[in-house]
Structures are given as C-alpha cells and as structure tokens.
Amino acid sequence: MARSSFQSPKGIRDVLPEEQPYWHRVEETIRKIVRLYGYERLDLPVFEETALYRRGVGEGTDIVEKEMYTFLDRSEKSFTLRPEFTAGVMRAYIEHGLAQRPRPFKVWSLGPVFRYERPQAGRYRQHTQFNVEALGEIDPALDFEIMSVAYHLYSDLGFRNLNFQINSIGCPECRPGFLKQLTAYYAGRKDDICEDCRKRLDVNPLRLLDCKVPACQPVIESAPRISGVLCDECRDHFARLRTYLDNAGRPYVINHRLVRGLDYYTKTVFEVWAEGIGAQNAVCGGGRYDGLAEAVGGVPTPAVGFASGIERIVLTMQSQDGAPPAPPHPAVFLVMQVPQAGEQVVSLLAELRAAGVDAMMAFGGRSMKAQMREANKRNAEYVVIIGERELADGTVTVKYMDAEGQETIARDSLIGFIRARLHE
C-alpha cells in the first residue's frame, strides 16, 4: 500500500467498495421497511444553529457538553454539525407547519452525524444514522410501531439474539420525585462514585444510572428504581406497550438502568443490543420525547423515534458470519484479442449498456491474457471476445465463465443472446 502523507481525520473512516455490499443491503432493507410501515423520507441540513442543539439535545448531556463540532461561519454566527437528527426533525416540523398533516407525521432520514468522541470499534467521530420519528401522538401503540420498525429491520437482516432493553423514565409529573430520591441516595455515596458521576449529580442525575465505570456499578445496583414512582399515566403507558410486545411475542428485558442522555426524552426508552459489537454498544437507541417541541419553541407535541448507526449494523452483520452480500459483478466483460478490435469493443460496450446489460471492458490496450485475468477478477458472467476472425465475419465469441465452453454468434444477435441467458 502506498504511503500517503494524508490520512482521514481521526475517528472518521472511509467506506471502501468491498464494504459497500453490506451498506447496500442495509439501505435496501430500510427502504422496504419504511414503505411497509408508511414512513416518508425527510432530508435535513448537515448543520444547524448551535442553539437548536443546545436547547433540543439539552445542556448537561454528553453531546452538548463535549461532543459537538461547533464553528463560527464568516458572519460570526455559531453553527454545529448535526450530532443527531431529532432536534432537526422537530425544527422542520414546526417551521413548515407539518402538524397540519395527518397525525402522526411519520418520517425517516439517513445520513452522517458528527460527535467528537474517543474513537473505538463501533464508535466514530462521523457515523451514519438511520433515524425514524413519528410526531403528534401519545398512543403507546405508536411506541410499539416504532420499536417494530427496528425489530423488522434487524430480523430481515438476519440478526440473531436480538435483545430489546426497555424502560420508562417517567414525565415532568413523576420524574422530579424520582430524581429527588436518586440524588438523596447518591448524596450519601459521593465517595464511592467516579468524578463524572459527581458532576452528573448536579447537572444530569438520571445519567448516574448509565455510568459504565466499574466502581459505580454496585452503587447503581442498589439505587432507587423509577418503576416504583411512575405516575398513573406513565405506568399505564408502559404497561400497554409491554402488552403489545408480549402479544407480538417480542423478546425484551426491562432494564431500570436504561435512561437517555437527552433531556427531552419522556416515558418509553429502548435500546437494541446485538451480538458482535460489544456489550457496551447498542445498535439502536430511541424512545419518546414529548418535551422536545416546547423546548425548541413549538406547541406541545408528543413524539417517539429511534436512531440506529449503520456502521454498527454492518459490524453486526459481519460478525454474525452469515454469507456476505454478493458484490456487484458485470454480466459481460468485453475482450479484444487484437488492437484493431478496439473500436468494435467500445461501440459494443455502449450498445450493451444502452440495452440495460451491465458490461465492462479492459482499458489501456493490455494483452489478451491480462484482459482475461481482469474479467476473472471482476467475476464477469460472460466474456465476449472479438479477434481477427470475428472482425472479418461480423461475429463475437461468447465464453461462459462458470462453465466450460464457448460459442461464436453473429454480432447483431449478442444482446438478445445475453438477455435470454440472464433471465434464465
């Protein structure tokens, strides 16, 4: 490999062609599923006003505190590369009056998000999210639908041992009471917890529960649980969601430590853990965020959604050792046996493509042997050879790559010949 003086920015990766069949497979499956569930595509800008994320994601979250890529543009206005989609979806919903449309308003997005993180396997500074949101309804059947979109995607991709983790983190009615219990409990354990947790105690106590530092684990284990203090509405919402999951036979685990770092989340939170990307890494995270619309200046609008990182989906596919998706390969590879056949090859290539047959040729006037080698490497189904005899006769020779034998046919019948065989 040639040594280059440049490298991609730290924590940011290139997706090379050999990985693309996985991405293609994921995107195809996504498109099938969003159609099945009735979600429409929404594309959003890659950066927004910094204040949108400060308010929408929330002060005190990891994202706002330490992960945002924030910059001033040439007129000194502060913008931030999107660290997630949800705030932008809500901004667009309010800005375009989308509440007027049939509710819930159901959309999906796909694209890069940016977070300044410590790079590790499955954790990058730019990753790609499949984001799904349904706005305008508080019905727990909608939480179930959103979770089903995720479930359907992963099961269609063949994931084994899907592990749904769910919890309810209450609402402005009942959560403050829980946070009081939690902070009172932690106040007595200050010496047993990590530096970050001591900070969380002041700015974002709910996040105490998802600390990963070993020393904090026993403290979390005996911490008060929110399930004990949910208000009637939240308790009922959670119970109905669980009934829908039970009726559908979906596996899930109630995880009282599961919280979202984002302040606007209410009621349902969920994650999906998949085999192969490490226990700390969720393949998706989501839940309800009934408080977000007001936080960014809209009227109260309940909503539920999730985001899933495509890189982690691909890592899961690769580690679950199913057959990798087939890489693309041409139906036809054109080979010139003599340089004089070059013009014929270029014309024939154009004709094949115009007829919808994917075809390639070797460039650079290489030897016959080198051309055949390339056809092999590219895994072509048929090699079409034009030599002196073919030029003189107005014929081409078709060689079957995965079987013995070849056949010389009239040049004009080539397209029909190939098409007939491709459709067999």
Confirm or reject binding of residue 115 to ligand ATP (CB under 6 A): yes
- Bridge partners of 410, per DSSP, are 395
Q: Which stretch binds ligand ATP (CB under 6 A): 95-103, 191-199, 301-309, 412-420?
A: 301-309
Within 238-267, which residues bind ligand ATP (CB under 6 A)?
261
Distance CA 159, CA 153 (A): 9
Q: Report the residue number, 263 or 311, with the smaller CB distance to ligand ATP.
A: 311
Q: Is 333 exposed, middle or buried (0-12, 13-18, 19+ CB in 10 A)?
A: buried
Length of the chain, in residues: 424
Which one of 87-95, 178-186, 193-201, 277-285 is the stretch in contact with ligand ATP (CB under 6 A)? 277-285
Which run of H or of E encompasses 220? Answer: helix 217-221
How far apart, in Å, are the Cα atoms of 115 and each of 80, 127, 272? Answer: 10, 8, 21
Region 320-379 residues binding ligand ATP, contact defined as CB under 6 A: none
Taking CB under 6 A as the rule, does residue 311 contact ligand ATP?
A: yes
81 sits near ligand ATP (criterion: CB under 6 A): no
Measured from the CB atom, is 291 or 330 closer to ligand ATP? 291
* Cβ-contact 330, 170 below 8 angstroms: no
> For ligand ATP, which is the closer residue by CB, 253 or 420?
253
Which residue's CB is nearer to ligand ATP, number 308 or number 371? 308
Q: Output the CA torsion sign for 351, 357, 358, 362.
A: negative
Question: Can you tell me whether residue 286 is helix, strand or coil?
Answer: strand
CB 169 to ligand ATP: min, Å? 13
Q: Which stretch binds ligand ATP (CB under 6 A): 21-29, 164-172, 302-310, 314-322?
A: 302-310
Please report whether residue 268 would count as binding ligand ATP according to CB under 6 A: no
276 binds ligand ATP (CB under 6 A): no
What's the angle, vertex CA 127, arms to CA 77 and CA 111, rounded to 5?
A: 70
Minimum CB–partner distance for residue 124 and ligand ATP (Å)? 4
Concatenate the DSSP letters of all residues of 178-201 into one string. Answer: HHHHHHHHHHTTGGGS-HHHHHHH
**Residue 288 interacts with ligand ATP (CB under 6 A): yes or no:** no
Nearest CB to ligand ATP, comparing residues 226 and 386: 226
Could you say which of 29, 80, 109, 308 contacts ligand ATP (CB under 6 A)?
308
The reply to whether 281 sits near ligand ATP by the rule CB under 6 A is yes
If one asks whether residue 284 binds ligand ATP (CB under 6 A), the answer comes out as: yes
Residue 290 makes contact with ligand ATP by CB under 6 A: no
Reply yes or no: is the peptide bond before residue 104 cis, omega within 30 of 0: yes
Cα 146-95-300 angle, rounded to 5 deg: 55
Is residue 291 a contact point for ligand ATP (CB under 6 A)? no
Q: Which stretch binds ligand ATP (CB under 6 A): 89-97, 305-313, 366-374, 399-407?
A: 305-313
Spell out the SS3 assignment of 350-384. Answer: HHHHHCCCCEEECCCCCCHHHHHHHHHHCCCCEEE
Q: Which stretch binds ligand ATP (CB under 6 A): 33-41, 308-316, 345-353, 360-368?
A: 308-316
d(CA 157, CA 5): 38
Nearer to ligand ATP, 58 or 330 (CB): 58
CB 131 within 8 Å of CB 109:
yes
Residues 6+ apart with CB under 8 A from 8: 14
For residue 404, give both structure tokens. Answer: 């013995």
Specify the residue, 2 or 279, whose C-beta has the smaller distance to ligand ATP: 279
133 binds ligand ATP (CB under 6 A): no
Q: Return d(Cα 155, Cα 160) in angstroms, integer.
A: 8
For the beta carbon of residue 222, count every other beta carbon within 10 angstroms: 9
Nearest distance from C-beta of residue 132 to ligand ATP, angstroms: 11
Q: Residue 82 or 312: which CB sits closer to ligand ATP?
A: 312
Taking only Cα atoms into account, the Rg of the chain, rounded to an integer number of angstroms, comes to 28
* Position among 123, 175, 237, 411 found at the interface with ligand ATP (CB under 6 A): 123
- In the complex, the smallest distance separating the C-beta of residue 110 from ligand ATP, rounded to whole angstroms, is 12
Of these, 60, 136, 205, 285, which contacts ligand ATP (CB under 6 A)?
Answer: 285
Chain centroid to Cα 359, Å, comes to 31
Rounded to the nearest whole angstrom, what is the least distance from the CB of residue 120 to ligand ATP in the complex? 9
What is the contact surface with ligand ATP in residues (CB under 6 A)?
84, 115, 117, 122-124, 127, 129, 261, 281-285, 307-309, 311-312
